[in-house]
Amino acid sequence: MNKFSGKVALVTGAAGGIGAAIVQRLRAQGAIVAVSDRDVAGIKADARLPGDLLDPAFTDGLPAAVHNTLGRLDIVVNNAGVITRGPVTETTDADWALSLGVNVEAPFRICRAAIPLMAGSGGGAIVNIASCWGLRPGPNHAVYCMTKAALASLTQCMGMDHAHQGIRINAVCPNEVNTPMLRTGFAKRGFDPDTAIADLNKTVPIGRIAEPEDIADVVAFLASDAARYVVGACIEVNGGKPVS
């Protein structure tokens, strides 16, 4: 299926669980994909742009780097993210700077640089990976929830502001997804990730937490022309599980 034939996409956090599935899906559907992460050596892609999203010069320059390397930029997926846990009383200055830097400032910088490039070639699509927890907060992840709420709000605002340029900006809001982010979180707290995920599966009305591909398919939909009238939306992909 070549629904993205000739389209150039940038995916951040491409070495992670959801990022890898997004890259695979977009490429399988014909897109030319540039990947970014701190280490991109092992990723099959059309361009590899390693770097730290906390470096403003790198992040500001990323859309232009894709444009220069692959000739255009049609799709941006701001997927990279970090999770810091705990209430604010256990949140360090370093947690705050990291969370705001990766989850909010980097997508802001990338969108700010990508939008004029996309507008110059008639439009495009941006998909931000927020979280259900950014729409309704869960316990003991105060700063993470706040950053995802900020990204959801930024998405709604940018969606309205740039639709007239032919750029559709939307967010995907997953609940729990079976990725290194989730598994390492369990391991750090002393739980066996497989057992913890088996328990978590029982809490989801559809019977299991999401696999990265469940999220990647919705990203691909939002990036595609099938979503041509979807603007500024925050789409929950949660298997029916409410935030509790």
Nearest to ligand NAD of 24, 179 (CB atom): 179
Site string for ligand NAD, 187-226 (x = CB under 6 A): ----------------------------------------
- Burial class of 243 by CB neighbour count within 10 A (0 to 12, 13 to 18, 19+): middle
Smallest distance, Å, CB 165 to ligand NAD? 25
The continuous run of DSSP H or E covering 4 comes out as none
Q: Which stretch binds ligand NAD (CB under 6 A): 41-49, 51-59, 108-116, 196-204?
A: 51-59
Active-site residue among 144, 212, 220, 222? 144
105: number of Cβ within 10 Å: 18
Answer for the pair 212, 20: CB distance below 8 angstroms, yes or no. Answer: yes
Q: Is 219 helix (H, G, I), strand (E, B) or coil?
A: helix
Q: Binding ligand NAD by CB under 6 A: which of 110, 129, 167, 200?
A: 129
Binding mask 105-124 for ligand NAD (x = CB under 6 A): --------------------
Member of 8, 10, 19, 49 binding ligand NAD (CB under 6 A): 19
- Percent helix, percent strand, percent coil in the chain, to nearest 5: 50, 15, 35
Is the dihedral angle over the CA atoms 225, 229, 232, 234 positive or is it negative? Answer: negative
Helices assigned H by DSSP within the chain: 17-28, 56-70, 93-100, 106-120, 132-135, 142-162, 180-188, 193-201, 212-223
Q: Which of 231, 216, 211, 86 is nearest to 145 (CA)?
A: 86
Q: Is 16 in the site for ligand NAD (CB under 6 A)?
A: yes
Give the binding range for ligand NAD (CB under 6 A) out of 15-23, 26-34, 116-124, 188-196. Answer: 15-23
Binding of ligand NAD by 237 (CB under 6 A): no
Q: Which helix (H) or strand (E) holds 175?
A: none
Does 144 qualify as catalytic in the annotation?
yes
Site string for ligand NAD, 146-185 (x = CB under 6 A): ----------------------------x-xx-xxxx---
Work out how close the CB of 134 gets to ligand NAD at its nearest, in angstroms, rounded to a whole number: 8
For ligand NAD, the closer of residues 64 and 82 by Cβ is 82
167-174 and 234-237 as β-strands: parallel, antiparallel, unpaired? parallel
Q: For ligand NAD, give the closer residue by CB, 2 or 203.
A: 203
For 197-202, the CB contacts below 8 A with 24+ separation are: 200/176
**Which of residues 63, 81, 159, 232 is near ligand NAD by CB under 6 A?**
81
Tokens of 162: 């740039």
**Which residues here bind ligand NAD, judged by CB under 6 A?**
13, 15-19, 37-38, 52-54, 79-83, 102, 129, 131, 174, 176-177, 179-182
Active site residues: 144
